Structure 1
Amino acid sequence: MTDSPAISRRSRLPALLIVLAALAVLGYVLWHLETSPKTDDAYVYADTIDVVPEVNGRIIELPVRDNQSVKRGDLLLRIDPRPYQDALDQAKARLVTLNQQIALTQRSVNAQQYEAASAVASVERARAQASQANDTFQRQEKLLARGFVSVEAVDQARTAQRSTAAELNATRLQAQRAAAAVSGVDALVAQRAEVEAQISIAELNLEFTEVRAPFDGRVASLRTTVGQFASAYKPVFTLIDTRHWYVIANFRETDLKDIKAGAAATLYLLSDTGQRFQGQVDSLSYGVLPDDGGTVIEGLPRVQRSINWVRVSQRFPVKIAVRAPDPELFRIGASAVAVLRPDNTAQGAR
């Protein structure tokens, strides 16, 4: 009878140890969840662009296929260049013709300028002759009163004075007419600038007939082939930027307080859970559309009256840049799992 309490205590000891161990494991799990938040509400993301031609035309070459990997500078598609080559040739021919017209017009302008200069010289000569005739008349008129010259000589001097004055007026009018007749090539030069601009546009349009990859990527959503008429600025297919891959992980708002840009992350995809990838937090979202936050009508918020007694934490996207992703494994939209280490900062995530 005396050994019964001791036996009872010894029988409860293993159960107590199990409870303590369970509490320790639970504490570790809670500490791990607190310091290393984890979510399986995540997916793979990469930037994409729409591949669009900048000119209209029929596709004559499409050297890529759907889901193909391409390198920067690779030809993606070629539009029929003949209309744009013809437009360029036509503009260049117009420039040649205009340059010849400018040269011919310039020679005519030079001749007009020579005629104007000659008219000015004639005016100067007529002015000198008129001045000399006037002086001669003045002298002979004074000598007539003294009887040193005849009346006939004075009349001849007067006639010469009037004749040279009339000739001076005539040469002045001719000089004005010659100066007014001098044209220029300014209008033609302005036309040349316009034609040169047309040539630049034609060269650019001809260059736009080739669409090349702006970065390393992968073709997606290709649903056309050679012979299809492509409209300018209308997407033909999508190009995925495979240089940088991200995982968009939705974390509870209660986990965001310790998550900062640059924090280290461990990632894996559900398509191959055996591979682990490292990354770092690129940024945190600062806005999501609430499910029950109401709508704004006429400037005032409208909040629903019903109350959910069980409150579910809102989730916010966290953008994680992946370091050294597997190009054959990463696909946009693939399911992923992200584990963050807020106390660590990753280096060289890209």
Structure 2
Amino acid sequence: MGSNMSAANSGAAKRPRTWPAILLIVLAVAAIVAVIWRVDTAPRTDDAYAYADTIGVSPEVSGKIVTLAVRDNQAVKQGDLLFQIDPRPYQYALQRAQAALVQLDAQIPLTQRSVNAQTFGATAARSAVARAQAAANQASDTLARMQPLIGKGYISADDLDRARTAQRSALAELASAEAQAREAQAAVSSVDALVAQRSVLQAEIATAQLNLEYATVRAPFDGRVAELRTTVGQYVSAQKPVFTLIDTRHWYVIANFRENELGQIRPGTRATVYLMSNTSIRFSGTVDSVGFGVDPQDGGGTANGLPNIQRSINWVHVAQRFPVKILVDRPDPQLFRIGTSAVAVVRPREHAAAAAGGAQS
């Protein structure tokens, strides 16, 4: 009996215990399911970086910098003075245009009086033409009446000759009066050209005033100066950037997600991001847009202007990544820098729940 019990105990001790292995397999399967569920419900990527819009601060006019009110990496507010170009050439241009307008305004009344006198002379000349025309008509009528009477002896030849002479004299006076009338009319000038010139000077004054305003360059929005590589005395040209201004009003995280994760990501989807410079702070955000093109890098021609996103394994076919632009709700201005590495997690279910709640309300 004792030998049988000892044999049974030794057999049980030799049988392997399978429940730890089964437990490990169950836990592994659960972990895999959790990871798959997590990826499907909250896609995540560490291929992301902080981004903000930038502009090149370019003056509208050329000249030497006489005041530089900012330094590199300085934060500025909208309307703050950035730099000033020497305003003297533009002040002189404005004064010159204003003086020309004053001179023209004085010249216009004088010219108008001269025009009035010329117009009066032309009117008098036309009246002289009318009188000469009447005298010529009368002399011609007199001659026409006298010619039939000479044959009947009612008038003498001398009377007829005097009538002919009077007619020729009247016609000559008419021709002279018409020539004087034409000259008088041609002499009549106009102030229209001067008035048009006045409009040109007013436009020049407005341009000079605008250029004078352009000599002072101010911040168009809240931002931060970057790539400042100049100082007072530098000659700057119009339309050429002097430095870069980062628009700090809006910060984004550009997160590159695999193409098989884009199905549930759309504008309005909520997201959580954090920066690698301080992983302890989480920022909420909203998907602003989803990229619709990248450089395929298939050995063909480069798609100009499209994002270039590197694939990690060139000899294995991996899913392409597309940029997702996430607008950060309340970014920390001290932490966010363009190009800072970030991690982004999007939450499509929150977007769906918010949309459903809005539809029900």
TM-score range, shorter chain: 0.7 to 0.9
Match of 1:295 among 300, 323, 346: 300
Q: Which moved more, 1:1-10 or 1:176-185?
A: 1-10
- The answer for the alignment partner of 1:229 in structure 2 is 235
State the AA in 1 paired with 2:339: G
Matched to 2:139, the amino acid is A
Aligned to 2:339: 333
How many residues align? The count is: 337
- TM-superposed CA distance for 1:18, in Å, is 4.3
* Offset of residue 165 of structure 1: 2.4
Q: CA deviation at 1:68?
A: 1.9
The SS at the match of 2:221 is coil
Match of 1:80, as an amino acid? D
Aligned-residue sequence identity (percent) comes to: 60
What are the residue-to-residue correspondences of 1:96-107 with 2, within 5 Å? 96-107=102-113
Change (3 A) 1:198 1:133: same
The reply on whether 1:214 has 2:220 as its aligned counterpart is: yes
Report how far residue 85 of structure 1 moved: 0.4
Q: What's the CA shift for 1:336? A: 0.8
Listed as ranges, the matches of 1:1-40 within 5 Å are: 1=5, 12-13=18-19, 15-40=21-46
TM-score by length of 1: 0.85
Query: 1:84 is matched with which residue: 87, 90, 96?
Result: 90
2:78 is the alignment partner of 1:60: no
Please state if 1:261 is matched with 2:238.
no
Relative distance call for 1:150 and 1:256 in structure 2 (3 A) is same
Q: Residue 169 of structure 1: SS of its match in structure 2? A: helix
Corresponding residue for residue 345 of structure 1: 351
Q: Which moved further from structure 2: 155-164 or 237-246?
A: 155-164
Deviations 1:62-112 (A, max 9, x none): 222222221212211111101110011112212222333333333222222
Residue aligned with 2:136, SS: helix
Instruction: Specify the alignment match of 2:123 in structure 1.
Output: 117
SS at match of 1:295: coil
Question: Counterpart in 2 of 1:303?
Answer: none
Q: Indicate the SS of the match to 1:202.
A: helix
- 2 CA distance for matches of 1:311 and 1:139? 121
Note the residue ranges of structure 2 that are not aligned, 5 or more in a row. 303-312, 355-361
Distance 1:194 1:256, change over 3 A: same
Quickly say closer, same or farther: Cα 1:154–1:277, change in 2 above 3 A.
same
1:157–1:309: structure 2 CA closer, same or farther, 3 Å change rule? closer
How far residue 152 of structure 1 moved from its aligned partner, in angstroms, is 5.0
Q: CA deviation at 1:44?
A: 0.3
The aligned runs of 1:66-215 (5 Å cut-off) are 66-140=72-146, 152-215=158-221
Deviations 1:94-145 (A, max 9, x none): 2222333333333222222211111110011112222333334444555666
Task: Describe the superposition over 1:170-194 as per-residue Cα deviations: whole angstroms up to 9, x where unpaired.
Answer: 2112112222222334444443333
Further displaced range: 59-68 or 208-217: 59-68
TM-score w.r.t. the length of structure 2 is: 0.83
CA distance in 1, matches of 2:64, 2:348: 54
Distance 1:135 1:285 in 2: 99
CA distance in 2, matches of 1:27, 1:148: 144
